[in-house]
């Protein structure tokens, strides 16, 4: 709460007269009204503030904030048909995510309070954005912490099995029901674009999913390889490579940890390497292992990099902050005797804003490094 953070934990709540999912008045010491909030009777995050002071929160406020969030995205003039319209706390709509995929919207309500408002939110989205269909991707595990079930359902119109999304010059086939997150890793769009400023020669895209970085960079890299541990992801990369006219992009199913070691033994060299692993530190207890994992892959990638080559290296673990990640990269550089320079330090795309004072909204770090010699 202090410093504007919108969460109040269960342990700090003295008395409750409300049911889970309600919009409540939050009263502080000396009976002063702190504001109005979403209340959860299950999560450790008992209260998610919507307003401060006496300003009441209700449907008109939520509608105003939805409209504002969408206006912000429209003003960005993104060169893409898929992007985030609502980024939860950062748009003052705690625990609500709305992504646009062309004429379809995908929604996630990740707290009891937002979930209860889903019918009203759906009606507002229909009225404001007139989508052809709205899908609820309410299958993230965090919903269990709220005592909410995991479901995927069409809330409005119809949503086809697969849709085409465009990001700059790249087209993807997306399965909105089964794809990771809401279908694509939309938060990396601007980092893929930025990487294109440096990519050249021989490319290795590690943790490629459906080919995000590889598809964008392969058009300027005469040799291109993408690796993912999931067979389904690899077949999607191949299909996307054909669709995008980069048939030289080779995709293979492998564990990146093993594959980097194998490539090193084989004496392989690359001019451009991308490391975009899943969140290694899902909680605080996992931080030491996560740091070891990040160090391992970065150290090996630095060794595989040709002098003057670029390493695009990411961490989407909120629990590993920028400083910790930078320290790992420093260690990897020292231990591999590879001098590297920071060319760019980046975060998630502008449609996933970071709200100052809410560190949870800053989770994606992306460093672009150049091997100096
Ligand atoms: N770079 C992608 C997103 C990556 S998401 C993009 O721009 O869209 C992380 C991916 O890593 C997932 O597809 C997952 O299947 C894969 N993965 C997880 N552990 C892995 C491992 N040890 N080796 C290879 N791939 C792995």
Nearest ligand 1 atom, CA 230:
15
Q: Please give the distance of CA 127 from its chain centroid, rounded to a whole number.
A: 27
**Ligand 1 center from residue 287 Cα (angstroms):** 19
DSSP for 124-163 reads HHHHHH--SEEEEEE--THHHHTTPPPEEEEEEE---S-E
At 4, the pLDDT band (50, 70, 90 cuts) reads confident
For the question of whether the overall pTM of this predicted structure is more than 0.85, the answer is yes
Asked if the model's pLDDT at residue 3 lies above 80, the reply is: no
Name the average pLDDT for the chain.
97
What pLDDT was estimated at residue 1?
52
For residue 26, which of 282, 12, 93 has the smallest C-alpha distance?
12
Check 206, 221, 314, 316 and give the catalytic one. 316
Nearest ligand 1 atom, CA 256:
23
Q: Which residue has the tokens 């965090």?
A: 142
Q: What is the mean pLDDT of residues 260-267?
A: 98
Output the residue whose Cα is nearest ligand 1's atom 7: 212
- Phi-psi region for residue 69, left (φ > 0), alpha (ψ -120 to 50) or beta? alpha
For residue 86, which of 71, 75, 99 has the smallest C-alpha distance?
99
Output the residue whose Cα is nearest ligand 1's atom 6: 212
Pocket residue to mutate for ligand 1, from 228, 240, 282, 363, most atoms within 8 A of Cβ: 228
Asked if the model's pLDDT at residue 321 lies above 80, the reply is: yes
At 280, the pLDDT band (50, 70, 90 cuts) reads very high
Pocket residue to mutate for ligand 1, from 278, 349, 363, most atoms within 8 A of Cβ: 278
Output the residue whose Cα is nearest ligand 1's atom 23: 255
* Cα–Cα distance, 181 to 272 (Å, whole number): 26
Residues with CB under 6 A from ligand 1: 185, 188, 207-209, 212-213, 227-230, 233, 255-257, 276-278
Nearest ligand 1 atom, CA 212:
7
Give tens-digit pLDDT for 198-226. 999 999 999 999 999 999 999 999 999 99
Handedness of CA 161, 246, 227, 252 (dihedral sign): positive
Give tens-digit pLDDT for 79-93. 999 999 999 999 999
Q: What is the mean pLDDT of residues 115-142?
A: 98
**Ligand 1 center from residue 281 Cα (angstroms):** 14
Q: What is the mean pLDDT of residues 312-340?
A: 97
Output the residue whose Cα is nearest ligand 1's atom 20: 229
What pLDDT was estimated at residue 89?
97
Query: HSE-up of 157 (CA within 13 Å, CB side)?
Result: 18
Contact 10, 44 (CB under 8 A): yes
The answer to whether residue 221 is catalytic is no
Nearest ligand 1 atom, CA 314:
1
Give tens-digit pLDDT for 58-108. 999 999 999 999 999 999 999 999 999 999 999 999 999 999 999 999 999
**Ligand 1 center from residue 116 Cα (angstroms):** 33
**Ligand 1 center from residue 271 Cα (angstroms):** 21
Asked if the model's pLDDT at residue 242 lies above 60, the reply is: yes
Helix intervals (H) in the chain: 59-76, 112-116, 118-129, 142-145, 189-195, 212-218, 231-243, 256-265, 287-304, 322-335
What pLDDT was estimated at residue 2?
53
Cα torsion for 137, 141, 143, 146, to the nearest 10°?
180
| CB burial string 59-71: b at 16+ within 10 A, e below | eebbbebbeebbe
**Ligand 1 center from residue 275 Cα (angstroms):** 9
């Amino acid at each position: 709460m202090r410093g504007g953070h919108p969460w109040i934990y269960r342990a700090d709540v003295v008395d409750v007269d409300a049911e889970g999912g309600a919009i409540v008045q939050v009263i502080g010491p000396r009976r002063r009204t702190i504001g109005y909030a979403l209340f959860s009777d299950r999560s450790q995050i008992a209260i998610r503030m919507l307003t401060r002071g006496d300003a009441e929160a209700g449907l008109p406020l939520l509608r105003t904030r939805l409209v504002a969030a969408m206006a912000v995205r429209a003003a960005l003039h993104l060169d893409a048909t898929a992007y985030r319209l609502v980024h939860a706390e950062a748009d003052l709509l705690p625990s609500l995510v709305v992504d646009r995929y062309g004429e379809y919207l995908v929604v996630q309500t990740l707290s009891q309070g937002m979930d209860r408002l889903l019918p009203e939110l759906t009606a507002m989205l229909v009225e404001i954005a007139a989508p052809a269909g709205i899908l609820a991707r309410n299958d993230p595990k965090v919903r269990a912490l709220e005592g909410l079930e995991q479901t995927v359902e069409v809330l409005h119109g119809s949503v086809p099995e697969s849709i085409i999304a465009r990001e700059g010059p790249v087209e993807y086939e997306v399965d909105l029901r089964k794809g990771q997150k809401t279908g694509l890793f939309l938060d990396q769009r601007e980092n893929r674009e930025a990487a294109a400023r440096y990519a050249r020669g021989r490319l290795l895209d590690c943790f490629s999913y459906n080919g995000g970085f590889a598809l964008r960079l392969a058009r300027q890299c005469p040799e291109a390889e993408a690796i993912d541990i999931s067979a389904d992801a690899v077949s999607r990369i191949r299909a996307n490579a054909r669709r995008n006219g980069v048939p030289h992009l080779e995709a293979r199913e492998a564990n990146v940890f093993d594959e980097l070691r194998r490539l090193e033994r084989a004496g392989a060299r690359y001019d451009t390497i991308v490391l975009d692993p899943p969140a290694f530190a899902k909680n605080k207890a996992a931080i030491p292992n996560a740091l070891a994992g990040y160090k391992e892959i970065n150290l090996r990638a630095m060794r595989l990099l040709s002098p003057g080559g670029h390493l695009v290296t990411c961490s989407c673990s909120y629990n590993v902050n920028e400083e910790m990640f930078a320290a790992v990269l420093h260690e990897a550089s020292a231990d591999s005797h590879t001098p590297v320079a920071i060319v760019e330090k980046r975060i998630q795309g502008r449609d996933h804003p970071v709200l100052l004072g809410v560190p949870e909204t800053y989770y994606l770090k992306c460093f672009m490094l150049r091997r100096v010699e």
